[in-house]
Structure formats: C-alpha cells, structure tokens
Homo-oligomer: A and B are copies of this chain.
Amino acid sequence: MKRDLSTEEKIKAAARKVFMTKGFDGCSVRDIAKEVGSNVALLNYYFRSKEKLFELIFEGAMSDFLQSMMAVFSSDRPLKEKLELIIDQEFDFFMEHPELPMFILHSIQQKNVKIPMPREVVNSIANTGIFEQFEEAKKKGEVRDISLRNTIILIMSNMHYPFMSKNLHKALHQIDDQQVNNDLLIHKKYVTEMIINYLFITNPKA
C-alpha cells in the first residue's frame, strides 16, 4: 500500500518548518514542496489545500504551545509548585522552540485563517481543577487577590514575549545571539523570583 510510510510525515515536517519561519502569507506551496524535495501536486494529494495543511500544522503547534502549561495544571501539586514548574518548563521549552510563540500569536491575530481553538482545550483547562485550587489558595490567604486569568497573562507575558522580541532586543542593544540567549536565561531567573514573590504572600494572615 504505502511505498514510503513517511511521505505524509515528511510533508508535514517541511510545512511546519516553512510555515513556522515564514508564516502562512509569507510562503508559497512551492516553497514547501521544494523543502520536501517534491512538487506541489503531492501536497494537494495528501492535504486538500494550502489552508487545510496550515490548519493541521497550526493545530499541532497550538497543542505544543499549551502543552506544558496544561500538563502542570493537571498534575497533583501545591499551587506554588505548579506555578514554579510552569515557568521552569515553559521557558526551557521555548528556549528550544523560540519561533513558536510568534507563529501562534501572529497566526491568531491575522484572522484570515480560521483558528481551531477547540472547546476541548478550553474545557480541559477548567477540568484540571486549577480554578478551584486557585480560589482555595486565595481564600486561605496564601495567594494575592488576583484572578487566574490575570495570573496567566502575567506568566505568559514573561515566558513568551522575550522569545518574540529576540531580534528587536538584539538590534536595540547591538548584541550578538549568544548575549541575547544569556539575557534570556537571566530573565528566567528574575522573573521566577518576581512572580512567585508577588503572587504568594510570605507571611499569611499576619
């Protein structure tokens, strides 16, 4: 049946690479075909169109994007540990995939491509029980009076943005890649301390 089992996968890998770096509007299907080492008809044979292929890639990327946060939310730990772990894992993950945040956020912002934000993702966040755990901690006075939504904004801002602004940072301070990456590592250290210290009340109930 299948001459080469991985043809479909090779196309997906190439598409992911090209979409990720150039964006949906910034590349042609022939760019992807060239990356595969084949021609455009093959792409439309396996996937029906550029748009369908993109949606597939985007869904996978979106899953990766939220993966570590979801995994930690679902785990069975005290809230403080969870947040510390999220920051730690998110950061390390994006250190390996620095182009992911920009790809996801830019794709979402340009709504010419419809965003598959499955209700299951939204529900699965709620189903982790993180909302209840958070409210509990607030009631106990362990955590500052802040919504989980705002906490997520806080964490994401400091986890995603530094990778999205690498080139700006580089140009702004006229530094090289190594120094940029060094600044990123330092950022992680500061931000962990800052966020945890801010959210959690050290001397609860006086």
Contact = CB atoms under 8 A, between A and B. Distances in A.
Given A110-B26, A198-B198, A149 B173 contact: yes
B115 A171 contact: yes
A178 interface: no
Contact of A110 (B22, B121, B191, B193): B22
| Copies of this chain, whole number | 2
A167 B26 contact: no
The dominant DSSP class at the A interface is helix
Interface residues of A, number: 53
A140 interface: no
24 contacts: A23-B23, A23-B25, A102-B106, A105-B165, A105-B168, A111-B167, A115-B171, A117-B172, A121-B172, A122-B171, A122-B173, A149-B183, A150-B190, A153-B161, A153-B183, A153-B187, A154-B187, A157-B158, A157-B161, A157-B165, A164-B164, A194-B194, A197-B198, A198-B198
